Amino acid sequence: MALKITDECINCDVCEPVCPNEAIYMGPEIYEIDPDKCTECVGHFDEPQCAEICPVECIPKDPNHEETEEQLLQKYHQLTESL
Domains in the chain with CATH codes: 16-80 (3.30.70.20)
pLDDT, position 47 = 97
Residue 46, classified by CB atoms within 10 Å of its CB into exposed (0-12), middle (13-18) or buried (19+), is exposed
**pTM of this prediction?**
0.92
**From CA 21, how far away is CA 19, in angstroms rounded?**
5
Percent of the chain having pLDDT more than 90? 95
With a cut of 90, say whether residue 71 has pLDDT above it.
yes
